[in-house]
Structures are given as structure tokens and as C-alpha cells.
Amino acid sequence: MTSAPEPVRRALRAIAIYALLLVAAVVTLGPFLLSAMTAFKTPAQFAQQSSLAPPSPWTLDNFMNILTGPAEFGHAIGVTVLVAVFLVVFQLLFSILAAYAFARVDFPGRDALFWVYLSTLMVPAVVIVIPLYLMMTQLGLRDTFWGLVLPFAFGSPYAIFLLREYFRGIPQDLIDAARLDGANTLDILVEVVVPLSRPIIATLILITAVSQWNNFMWPLVITSGNNWRTVTVATASLQSQFNGNWTLVMAATTLALVPLVALFLVFQKQIVQSIAITGFK
């Protein structure tokens, strides 16, 4: 045993722990900071100096280039926002309706149907992407807005599952009281259930928006050309188009990541909580 007194040992241990945790934090944040730094460099500086050197001079040219140039990255951002907003609204609306039916309406076949809904969670994206592509092609919806959103607009089994759990915790008395006052099912949903479920709805809005912003495989398959390309697809094609032109490519990844980092900084508590509740995917 060492003879160092207890407080010293304790302080040394705390320092060692902090050192370890800080190294991990640097490794976590490093890629974000280094790639953002590269996005602000001139191609000339990037070619001549170490890739770790800070930008000098700072330039916005890379961002201007991809936003307004032939890559039409600004357009891709617009498309992605449109898709995310559309799917947040409709997925949530239809999921709330279904979740209420499963939680509060007693109809024949309810439990069996709920089991079917849950079992579809096992189906991986890459399995249904092939048939969905064929279906959308048949419907003439390839490379259209509807092709992008239609398969996901009618609700998500996962959201339905989470909402149902939440709705089941709402006291039946409140619903009965509203019904005695003459409210129908839709009134009850709008006036009682939804206001009481704000936390889970906020969580689902965040999850849906983030996962649509991040979504890659389906937009990659169903879009071609610039018209309906999302941010992730535009980033991937910039990478293959400007292979080695890293200042441009890092401007693209920075634009793809900044909204998420900003959202994370603002809503960190809610996001961390919703990952804990839902697994977030």
C-alpha cells in the first residue's frame, strides 16, 4: 500500500478520471471541429499547410460555392426541410389517431392488430426499399416529392407504440367527464388527450425531424438528379463529384451537421431524455 494520505489519493484519482473523460470528449468533438475548420479554409491553404492548421484567411467561398453553384445545396436544404415538416405533421397526426384507438377504444381485433403493428418494427429498411422502389416506379412517382414522403406519411408503428403507452396513462375520468359534456372522440383528442401528452409529442417531433434530416437510403434510391435530392444525398454526391476537394466537401458536411448540433445545444435535455425513453431510431 502507498502511504499517501486519503485526500491526496482521492484528488489524484479524480484528476486521472477527468483526464480520461476529457480525452474522450476531445475524440468525440475533434471530427466536428476539424471538419468545420476545413470548410472555412481556402483551397490554396488546404493544399499548402497542415490539415490541422486553423483557417487563415477565413473564407465563406466553399459555402457560397456549394449553396449557389451547380451542386444546388441550398435547394437540397429546402427539399429536406419540406420533407421533414411534411412528415412530422402527417406521421404524427395519423400516429396519434391510431394510438388513441389502440389505447382507448375497445374494438374487435384490437390486440391482434396491435401485435401486427409491433411486428413490423422488425423489418429493416434495406428489405423494403427494393419493393417500395418498384411500387413508386409503377406509380410514376420516382424522383418526386410524393415518392419521397408517401411510404412514411401514414404514421409510424414506433410512434404509435410510444403514444399508446402514454395515452394509457391518462386518467379515464377526464375522458368520461368530457364525454358527459357532449364531446365526441375528436373533441376529446383535441381538447383532452393531445394537451396532456405534450412531452411525448414534443419528443416525437424532435425524433421525426432529426431522423428525416438524417435519412439517406430511401432518398438515395428514389431521387435522381438535383430536383428532389435531400441534404444527405447531395453530400454523398458532392463527395464523389469533388473527390479530394475536401474544403468543398467539408462545407457540405458542416451544413448537414450544423442544424443537428444547434438543435442538440438548444434541446439537449429533451433529446437526451428522449433517447433514454425511446432509443431514438
Partner 1 sequence: MTARAHRRRNALTGYALLAPSLFGLICFLLFPVLVVLWLSFQQWDLISPARFVGLANYESVLSDPIFGNSLLVTLAFVLIVIPIQTGLGLLAASLLTRGLPGSLVLRTIYVLPWICAPLALGVVWKWIFAPTGGALDAILGTRIEWLTDPNLALPAVCAVVIWTNVGYVTLFFMAGLLNIPAHILEAAKLDGAGSVAMFWRIKLPLLRPTMFFVLVTSLISAFQIFDQVYALTGGGPEYRTDLVASHIYSEAFQLFDLGRAAVMAVVLLAILVTVTVAQQLYFRRRTTYDLSS
How far is CA 45 from its chain centroid? Answer: 34
248 binds partner 1, rule: CB under 8 A: no
Residue selected from 2, 7, 57, 126 as contacting partner 1 according to rule CB under 8 A: 126
32 binds partner 1, rule: CB under 8 A: yes
180 binds partner 1, rule: CB under 8 A: no
Residue selected from 81, 88, 128, 205 as contacting partner 1 according to rule CB under 8 A: 128
DSSP state of 22: H
268 binds partner 1, rule: CB under 8 A: yes
Task: Name, in order, each residue with C-beta under 8 angstroms of 99's C-beta and a sequence gap of 6 or more.
Answer: 159, 160, 161, 162, 163, 164, 166, 167
Report yes or no: 61 and 72 within 8 Å, Cβ to Cβ: no
236 binds partner 1, rule: CB under 8 A: yes
Closer CB to partner 1, 85 or 127, in the complex: 127
Report yes or no: 167 and 98 within 8 Å, Cβ to Cβ: no
Find the shortest distance in angstroms from Cβ 263 to partner 1.
Answer: 8
> What secondary structure, in 3-state letters, does 216-231 show?
CHHHHHHCCCCCCCCH
Residue list 86-105, contact with partner 1 (CB under 8 A): 94-95, 97-98, 100-102, 105
55 binds partner 1, rule: CB under 8 A: no
| Ramachandran angles phi, psi of 89, nearest 5° | -65, -55
Residue selected from 57, 70, 108, 182 as contacting partner 1 according to rule CB under 8 A: 108
| Ramachandran angles phi, psi of 267, nearest 5° | -110, 30
122 binds partner 1, rule: CB under 8 A: yes
